[in-house]
Amino acid sequence: MRFYLDLSFVPGPQINEILDVINLIPHRLIGSQEINSVAIPQYVEFEFSGSINDFEDDLRLSLEKNSILDYVVTRDSLKENTLTLLKTGDLGQLGIYFCDFCGAFFNSEEGKYIHERAHYFY
């Protein structure tokens, strides 16, 4: 399956460290995009043999093994098959709210609330 990884919340100096971690996971890189005219990839497109859940787990494990503990892996609620890496310390500052059930994130408390209600119907 084809997935996307949004690294735009990762500060420049740490991107290479994060990319090293991603390279430990077997996958095939399809392409990357540079955002904000910085010469580092911030939006990576790749192919992975498992599901997005498998990749999410692998990425978490890989980050832990490399003692990168200040990042959380989360699903982008707006884009399909997209994972985002967020720095835990920045969450409040960015105004990001997490679903208590599935970890999807939202830009507003209202968005989170509306989304969370959907979980009650399953």
Residues found near Zn ion in the complex (CB under 5 A): 99, 101-102, 104
d(CA 35, CA 112): 27
Strand order from edge to edge, sheet including 41-47: 28-34, 41-47, 2-6, 82-87, 71-75
Closest distance to Zn ion from the beta carbon of 5 (Å): 20
- Between 44 and 99, whose beta carbon lies closer to Zn ion? 99
d(CA 54, CA 48): 9
Closest distance to Zn ion from the beta carbon of 99 (Å): 3
Closest distance to Zn ion from the beta carbon of 102 (Å): 3
Closest distance to Zn ion from the beta carbon of 105 (Å): 9
- Between 68 and 102, whose beta carbon lies closer to Zn ion? 102
Tell me which residue of 65, 74, 79, 70 sits closest to 105, measured CA to CA: 74
d(CA 112, CA 41): 29
d(CA 24, CA 66): 10
- Between 59 and 99, whose beta carbon lies closer to Zn ion? 99
Q: Which amino acid is at 12?
A: G
- Between 47 and 110, whose beta carbon lies closer to Zn ion? 110
